Amino acid sequence: MATEEVLRKTLRNADGKPFAKYKGITNNFQLEDFELLVDEVQNDRAGHSRMRVRVPMRAAGFPEDTYSNRSREIALRDLIVRRFWESARTHARSPIPRTDGGEIYIPRPGQEILERGSVAVTQHFVEVSFTADLPSSGGKVNAQATEELIYSRIARVVSESMFFRAYKASKLYNHIQTSENADHIRSVLPGMGLAAFVATGSILPRRDDDLAPAVDAVPFDCDDSLKVSIEVPNGEPIEGMGLPSGFTVVTGRSRCGKSVLADAVFAGAYNHIPGDGREYVVSLPDAAYVMSEDGRPSDSVDVSAAIGGETSLQSASVPAPVSEAVSVSEAVETGSGLIILDEEYSSPCYIRCAYLAEDDDFVPLSKVAGAMGAAGISVLMVSGDRSAAEAADNVLVMGGFRIRRADVQRISGGCPYDKPAVRYPVSKNIVYEKGRKEVSVTAQGIRTVEIGEYKVNVPVAGFFDMAQTRAAADAVALARDLMDGSRSMAEVCRQAVDAVMAYDPENGGSMHRARPRPMDVAAILNRHPQMLCIQKR
């Protein structure tokens, strides 16, 4: 580790020289309040340099109870990212005057509390990974401006985000305890016979940018018959609606909040920050949203639950109803215990039986969802169809964001259900190359990933933050070498995600990344037209 004097001397020696001379600061420097680790220096002024700042825990001062378990550690890391982003946006959003650099960048966090690779917290130190644009003047090293970047901008961001004293203790603990409470609720759902929990008073409608609850929204409520109370580690028990396991149909008039509820339950696979309105809307961590995707590919997917005798569907383009059957099978194959559908985005014939279609070999989900519930896979369906309601284990009527239970005579005669066969992916057909890159996988949008030159759109992926999509894209790239036919799709994606999110003290964490669910990485691979899978029973 080099000293602060070495850093200053290196910058002075490089001052006014070609930009490439900045390579000399690729080192670890011990400064007064923190350690600066320059991992990679940009090649020119158009690039970005990878850096880390590390503060010893004895100086950072975060009490042990703020990171004493996995839940609290993730929440603390998430909060530090938020404060680091806010401070960088305030103090280093634009170039240093008379230069073309000086910005500090870390991705803006959304409403979800996620495991973010940009921050590491251990009993020994707190570390943040970020990018910075080294300032230059006319393409030459500007030592004075670089010192301002390091000793003024970076130092100020560090002081405002990486020391316990910079936080209001009540807000810090509220963030951590809210997340820990949600994790606890999620852990007890299966034992209570529930697939999800929606606290009374939750604000479900979202603002257009999804960064806050809608203004003047009606708080959620439900009848007493649906209410449960759950003890939590922090504070008083939380009361709300327990969504029962099994097959549940939510119905009601138009614009009464049914779809908003389904969206909130899906988002409940993740924790949310205080003030979001959905802090205690909590679902099983493997909740999957399914919608019609007319024309999507299918490779060796077992859809026998929907199409009699069709145990290995191979098609470059499947019709809309079949696409939902494929997506349900893929979700169950990768471990989902909760399937969510909304008739607004589904094919009618996948929701219910067609009129006078007794001889049709296509089985709608409402006919098999009851048996799925018995097999441990709950189904939440938003539908106004009577036949679907009559097949459901539970029928809930929503009006004005208040839910009541409906007594509907259940009609027996559902179809049996067997879990789909496991598939083992092989990557040899997928073209990862683009231009001069042998492996090119990039996040193009919140639910779009480009593999080689092919863009895969995954409208049902549980990505709520671009940091998740970036990590998923990296996992897809790593999966290339794992997909040799010896591992299941779930195993491949789990190993790839773990590798992407691993922390290396020498090189830092997964900068600008947040942990995605392996099932969402699988959703990307499943929608690539060159995907090849081997089915094993």
Gap between the terminal Cα atoms of the chain: 55
Residue 301 inside a domain? The answer is yes
What's the whole-model pTM score? Answer: 0.95
Q: Is there a single domain that holds both residue 216 and residue 360?
A: yes
The alpha carbons of the chain give a radius of gyration, in whole angstroms, of 26
Q: What is the pLDDT of residue 358?
A: 61
pLDDT at 291 over 80: yes
**pLDDT by residue (tens digit) across 3-25?**
999 999 999 999 999 999 999 99
Q: Tens of pLDDT along 269-289?
A: 999 999 999 999 999 999 999
pLDDT over 70 at 356, yes or no: no
User: Which stretch of DSSP H or E encloses residue 522?
Assistant: helix 518-526
* pLDDT tens by residue, 71-126: 999 999 999 999 999 999 999 999 999 999 999 999 999 999 999 999 999 999 99
Encode pLDDT of 422-440 as tens digits: 999 999 999 999 999 999 9
Report the C-alpha gap between 164 and 268 in whole angstroms. 29
362 has which bridge partners?
Answer: 307
Q: Which DSSP state fits 151?
A: I
| Residue 429 shares a structural domain with residue 376 | no
Same domain, 391 and 489: no
- Split at pLDDT 50, 70, 90, the class of 311 is confident
The β-bridge relationship of strands 532-536 and 378-382 is unpaired
Picking from 383, 283, 291, the residue whose alpha carbon sits closest to that of residue 331 is: 291
User: For 103, which DSSP code?
Assistant: -
CA 118 from chain centre, in angstroms, equals: 15
486: helix, coil or strand? coil
Tell me, what's the pLDDT at 254? 87
Q: Above 70 in pLDDT, residue 354?
A: no
Among the candidates 167, 194, 219, a domain finishes at: 167
Pick left, alpha or beta for residue 246 (phi over 0 → left; psi -120 to 50 → alpha; otherwise beta).
left
Q: State which H helix or E strand residue 148 sits in.
A: helix 143-148
Of 227-241, 438-452, 454-468, 495-509, the least confident = 495-509
Q: With contact defined as beta carbons under 8 Å apart, do 327 and 293 qualify?
A: yes
Residue 397's H or E segment, with its range, is strand 394-399
Q: Would you give the DSSP letter of residue 427?
A: -
Contact 200, 250 (CB under 8 A): no
The verdict on 251 and 360 lying in the same domain is: yes
Mean pLDDT of 136-142: 95
pLDDT digits (tens, 9 = 90+) for 156-167: 999 999 999 999
Cβ atoms of 110 and 211 closer than 8 Å: yes
438: helix, coil or strand? coil
Whole-number pLDDT of residue 411: 84
Of the residues 376, 405, 434, the one at which a domain ends: 405
Q: Is 380 found in the same domain as 254?
A: yes
pLDDT at 359: 62
Nearest Cα residue to 26 out of 56, 50, 3: 50
Domain presence at residue 413: no
Cβ atoms 442, 503 nearer than 8 A: no
Per DSSP, 517 falls in state P
Do 150 and 180 sit in the same domain of this protein?
A: no
73 phi and psi, to 5 degrees? -60, -45
Same domain for 382 and 431, yes or no, is: no
Q: What is the pLDDT of residues 408-419, one digit of tens each?
A: 988 877 899 999
Residues 416, 96: Cα–Cα separation, whole Å: 67
Does the pLDDT of residue 357 top 60, yes or no?
no
CA distance 534 to 197: 37
* pLDDT number for residue 509: 76
DSSP assignments along 328-392, one per residue: HHHHHHTT-SEEEEEGGGS-HHHHSPPTT-TT--BPPHHHHHHHHHHTT-EEEEE---HHHHHH-
Mean of the per-residue pLDDT values for the chain? 95
Structure tokens at 124: 């020994």
Cα–Cα distance, 72 to 347 (Å, whole number): 42
The confidence band for 352, taking pLDDT boundaries of 50, 70 and 90, is confident
Are 66 and 207 in a shared domain? no
Q: What percent of the chain has pLDDT over 70?
A: 99
417 part of a folded domain: no
pLDDT in tens, 169-213: 999 999 999 999 999 999 999 999 999 999 999 999 999 888 899
Give yes or no for a contact between 247 and 373, defined as CB atoms under 8 angstroms apart.
yes
Same domain, 154 and 205: no
Q: Are residues 199 and 280 in the same domain?
A: yes
SS (HEC) of 17-74: CEHHHHHHHCCEEECCCCEEEEEECCCCCCCCEEEEEEEEHHHHCCCHHHCCCHHHHH
Give the tens place of pLDDT for each residue, 292-308. 999 999 999 999 999 98
- Owning domain of residue 282: 173-405
CB–CB of 60/162 below 8 Å?
yes
Residue 537 pLDDT more than 70?
A: no
Residues 72 and 178 in one domain: no
- The structure tokens listed for 476 are 């897809």
Token duo for residue 316: 């470059």
Q: How many structural domains are present in the chain?
A: 3
